[in-house]
Structure 1
Amino acid sequence: MRTEYFESFDGTRLAIHRIGEGSPVVMLHGLFSSAEMNWIKWGHAQKVADAGFEAIMLDFRVHGQSDSPTDPDKYPANVLVRDVIAMIEHLAFDSYVLGGFSLGARTTLHAVANNLLEPERIIIGGMGTSGLGEWQKRSAHFKRVIDEFDTITKDDPAYYSRQFLKSQGVNRVAARLLLDTMPDLDLALLSNVTMPTLVVCGDEDRDNGSAQELTDLLPNAIYVETPGNHLMSATKPEMGDAIAKWLAETV
C-alpha cells in the first residue's frame, strides 16, 4: 500500500492510497468513512489488485487522511466531484474505471451523468434512486446527527450514525459544511451514463432506495446482490468478490 498527497483545485490537501499494478480503478468511499474503512480493511482493494488492476483510493476532504477545512469558501457546490476531477487530472489518467460505495457512488454518478468525467466503466455500490433524486431527505438525517450530536441517546434511531461518526474522528464543523454542497441529481440525466456499469448492493440495503430501479435507469448496467444491510454489506467479502469478478470479465 502506498499513500501520497496532492493539492486539489482550491489547495486542500487530499490523500490517495494505491495498491497493485495495472489499469487504474478509482474507488471512492462512503460518507464519514474512508478508503481504509471501505476498501482496505475488508480486503476489497487487495482483490482488485489481485485481479490485475491498480486500486486508486481517494480520501474525500473531511475524511480519512485528507484535510478538513472549516472555511465555508472551501465548500462550493458539488465540491467532491471537483476533487475527483482534480485527482484524475493530477494523475493524468487517460483511461480508468471509476466507482464508489454510497457517497462515492453518488459522486461517481454526478460526475458522469453531468458529462464532467468519462471513465471507461463505472461501479456503483450501495446506491439506489432515492439516494440520488431525494438526497436532501437523506442529508437531513446526517445534519441532525451533527446538530444534536451531544444530546442523541442510545434509544434514538440516529445513535448508530452518531457513534460511527465519532469512531471515525470526523470534524463536525467541516462535515456540516460538506453536507450543504451536495445537490439532488435529476434522474433523467442517468441516460448519459452509457458505459458498462456494475450496480452492487446488499440484499438488505434500502438506505438509498432501490438499487434495482437504479440499474433499470442506466443504459448499460447489470445488478449484483451481495449479503448485508447498508453498513454491513461493505464489510462482506462478497462485495470485493463481485467487483473484482466484474472488472476481470469486462476488460
Structure 2
Amino acid sequence: MEPFQSDGVEIAFLDEGKGEPILLIHGFASNVAVNWVDPGWVRTLVSAGHRVIAYDNRGHGKSEKLYDPALYGAPAMAEDGRRLLDHLGIERADVMGYSMGARIATFLALAQPARARSLVLGGVGINLVRGLVGTGPIARALEAPSIDDVTNDTSRSFRVFAEQTRSDLKALAACMRGPREKITPDMLASIGVPTLVAVGSNDVIAGPGAELAATIPDAKFLDIAGRDHMKAVGDARFKQGVLDFLTRRP
C-alpha cells in the first residue's frame, strides 16, 4: 500500500498487475485487504490480465481517519477514486464496488462518465435507490463503550465486523452519520456504460438486485445463489461472472 494526497486527505492504495485497469472500491468497515486481497479478487484479476487499483476509503484501513460526518459524502469519497486515477495517469478504468463501495462507484460513474469504462455493482440491489435505514442505531452501536452494550442484532453485526477489521470505530460512526445523498431512478437511467449488478440471493441488506439492474440501461444481473451479504464477496461464481462480464463488455 502506498499513500497519496486527495485534496488534503491521505489515501492508501494498492496498484498491482499490468493490462486494462480496474478500480476497486470496498464496503463499509472493510478495507482493501479484507474486501479484495483476502477473498482472492486481486489475484484473480491480475491473473486474468488486469491492472488492479484499490484504495482504502477515507476513515478506513490505512487511509486518514476523519471525524467530521460532513466529510463522508459518497460524492466526496468518489472523488478520492477519481483523484487516484489522476495520480496514476489513468484516463479510463473499469470500476467495481461492493456494498458502500458500489454506492461510491455509482457516484463516480455519474459524475465522471468519461472515466468509467464499465461498472460492477456488487452487494447492492434496489436499496441503492431506497437508501439504508437505521443509520443512527448503527452509529450509536459503533460509539458504544463496549459491544456488550449493543443489543440490536443488526447494529451488533456492524460492530462485530468493525472490530474484526480493527477499524477506528469513531471514524466509522462519523462515516455512518455522514450525508446520505439520494440516487434516483432517473440518475441510474442516465448511466451509459456496461453495468453488472451482482447480489447474493440471501442478501437482505442489498435488496433485490434484479430490481436495481432493471433501472439501469442494458444492465446485466448476476444472482449469487445461496449467499448473503458477507459470504457473496469471495464467491467463485461472483468472480467468474465479473471476469466474463469484463471479457464481453465493449
State TM-score, norm by structure 2: 0.89
CA contact (8 A) 2:119 2:194 kept: yes
* Residue number in structure 1 paired with 2:152: 156
Matches of 1:154 and 1:138, distance apart in 2: 14
Matches of 1:156 and 1:63, distance apart in 2: 24
* Residue number in structure 2 paired with 1:244: 243
Q: Match of 1:146, SS?
A: helix
The correspondence for 1:140, drawn from 136, 143, 163, is 136
Against the structure 1 CA distance between its residues 73 and 194, is the aligned structure 2 distance closer, same or farther, given a 3 Å change threshold? closer
Count of matched residue positions in the alignment of Structure 1 and Structure 2: 247
Does structure 1 residue 25 correspond to structure 2 residue 22? yes
The correspondence for 2:117, drawn from 105, 117, 120, is 120
CA contact (8 A) 2:147 2:160 kept: no
* Residue number in structure 2 paired with 1:103: 100
* Residue number in structure 2 paired with 1:171: 168
- Shifted more, 89-98 versus 25-34: the winner is 89-98
CA contact (8 A) 2:91 2:115 kept: no
Against the structure 1 CA distance between its residues 76 and 210, is the aligned structure 2 distance closer, same or farther, given a 3 Å change threshold? closer
Deviation at 1:178, TM superposition (A): 2.0
* Residue number in structure 2 paired with 1:220: 218
* Residue number in structure 2 paired with 1:84: 81
Report matched runs for 1:184-203 at 5 Å: 184-203=182-201
The C-alpha deviation readout for 1:16-44, integer Å capped at 9, x for no partner, is: 11222101000110100011111110111
Deviation at 1:190, TM superposition (A): 0.4
* Residue number in structure 1 paired with 2:230: 231
CA contact (8 A) 2:125 2:197 kept: no
CA contact (8 A) 1:47 1:241 kept: no
Matches of 1:182 and 1:84, distance apart in 2: 18
* Residue number in structure 1 paired with 2:44: 47
Residue identity in the other structure for 1:195: V
CA contact (8 A) 1:78 1:182 kept: no
Matches of 1:166 and 1:117, distance apart in 2: 38
Q: Match of 1:245, SS?
A: helix
CA contact (8 A) 1:98 1:123 kept: yes
* Residue number in structure 2 paired with 1:205: 203
Residue identity in the other structure for 1:192: S
List alignment gaps of at least 5 residues for structure 2. none
Matches of 2:73 and 2:123, distance apart in 1: 25
CA contact (8 A) 1:51 1:248 kept: no
- Shifted more, 220-229 versus 108-117: the winner is 108-117
Q: Match of 2:116, SS?
A: coil
Against the structure 1 CA distance between its residues 6 and 209, is the aligned structure 2 distance closer, same or farther, given a 3 Å change threshold? same
The C-alpha deviation readout for 1:15-72, integer Å capped at 9, x for no partner, is: 1112221010001101000111111101112111111111111110111111113356
Matches of 2:26 and 2:114, distance apart in 1: 18
Q: Match of 1:231, SS?
A: coil
Deviation at 1:220, TM superposition (A): 2.2
- Shifted more, 64-73 versus 178-187: the winner is 64-73
- Shifted more, 73-82 versus 120-129: the winner is 73-82
Deviation at 1:127, TM superposition (A): 0.5
RMSD: 2.2
Against the structure 1 CA distance between its residues 182 and 86, is the aligned structure 2 distance closer, same or farther, given a 3 Å change threshold? farther
- Shifted more, 73-82 versus 62-71: the winner is 73-82
Q: Match of 2:146, SS?
A: helix
